[in-house]
Structure formats: structure tokens, C-alpha cells
Structure 1
Amino acid sequence: MTIGEAAERTGLTADTLRYYEKIGLIPPVPRKENGLRDYGDETLKIVGLIQRFKAIGMPLETIQNYLRLAALGSATRNERRELLLETRENLMKKIDRLSFCLRLADYQLERCDGGLTSETELALRGWAVNGALAGTAA
């Protein structure tokens, strides 16, 4: 299949597929007699793996390393496991940060909905009174 067809099937752009090939993330794609790339199902399977790893936040460099290790076989299982554990740890950190941000947003909503003067209003009260915030009500 052409690069356009492969892009459509994977949801990636043709530029992304070319980039993956250029950096060695996917093996060199065979070419037809006319010089156009001819993507096969095996290449698309690898692209699918890459997409799943990207979805969990694994950087391209780590994906490349993981795939290289996987190509070496089961003797590299522990090294690959470490890469996955590192990715999982990074995901947990992101979840913790997002949970903290959600609590902050909920706190602000509670202050607004509860009829209390928000911290923002209190903090800016003197500034707005002095005309520092153009177009704001004091």
C-alpha cells in the first residue's frame, strides 16, 4: 500500500511515517519499481505498537530502544520490563500532578459556587481599585 494509504489506516501523517523510517523506528519500507514506498501489514503492525507505546507516554527514543531489545529476543525481557516500569512511573507522576490540579480546580469552583469572595478577587482588589487592571470593575 502507498504511504497515503498507510497514513490513512494508521491515522498518522505521511511525514510521520517517513520520519519513523528515517530514524530507524520502523524498518526501511520496500519500494515499488516506480520508487514509491510499499507498506505491508508487518510494517503497519510495528506502527501500531509504536502508537500504543506513545499513547502511554513512552518517548520515541525509549520506544526505539524497546523495539531494538525486543528484536533481540526473550533474553532482553528484563531490560524491556525496566523500560515499561519507567514509563509506568512517569504515568503515575503525571496522574498525581493532574489529580492535584483537579483538586485545585474543585477548590476554586467551591469558592465560587459557595458565594465566598474568591482568593483571586481578594488578591486583585487593591490593584483594580488603583486602576491597574484596565476594564475591570472594582
Structure 2
Amino acid sequence: MGGKMAQELSVDLFAKAYRSQLGIQFLVKECELKDAVIKKLESEISELRLRKKILEEDNAQLKNAALSIQQFQSESQASEERMKTLDCVLNAVMKSIRPLGLDKKKFNREVINISQCIPNDGTQAARHSLLHTAVTKVLKGEI
């Protein structure tokens, strides 16, 4: 009877050891799978960081382009205002010319009419100073 009990105990211990070995193998396999997932996630994170950097660089370039466009539009608008003002001054000169030269009184009346048509606020308000400069040049004979 003692031998049978020892044999049962041995089989029981062997079964427990086998189950423990299977459990350890299962845990090792689970760790290997988790390690593979972690490596894949680290790779994806690295790729996302690279994409983020590229997007930030693209965003900076777009901001610079937008600033350049705004500057160009501002310069274009200022140039257009100068052209309009010079066109008005030229029209005033054309209306004020008489056979012996420029009728300064008529020219001044035309300039006053032009200046009253120019708004005092907004982007067109800068035309007042442009008009003054152009009129001064005409009256001094610099043009």
C-alpha cells in the first residue's frame, strides 16, 4: 500500500510539474507576443513622430507662404492706390491745361474735388498723402 501511495504521489507531482511547465510555456509565449506588439507599437510611434515633424515643417512653410501672400497683397494694394491717385492728378492736370500753361486755380479746384471724394478712413485714406505729394510736385514743376 505504501508503494501505491508513493506511486500516486509521484504521478500527482509529475502531473503538477507538467501543468506548471505548460503554464510557464504559455506565459513565455504570451510574453513573446506582447514583446512583438510592443516593438510594433514603438515602430508606429516612431513613424508618427516623423510624420508629425514633417507636418510641422509643412505648416511652417504654409505660414511663411501666407505671410508672403499678405505682404504681396498689401504692396499690390498700395501700388494700386498710388496708380489711382496719380491717375486723378493727371486728370486734374489735363482739365487745367490752357494754351499758355497750367491754370493753377482750376487745378486747385480739381484737386479739392478729388480730395473730397477720397475717404478719410480705411485703406484708401492713404491716398490723401499721395495726392498731396503728387500735387506738390506738379505745382513745383517737378513732373
Larger Cα-atom Rg: 2
1 or 2 for the larger relative contact order (CA 8 Å, sep ≥6)? 2
TM-score by length of 1: 0.30
TM-score by length of 2: 0.29
Greater helix fraction, Structure 1 or Structure 2: 2
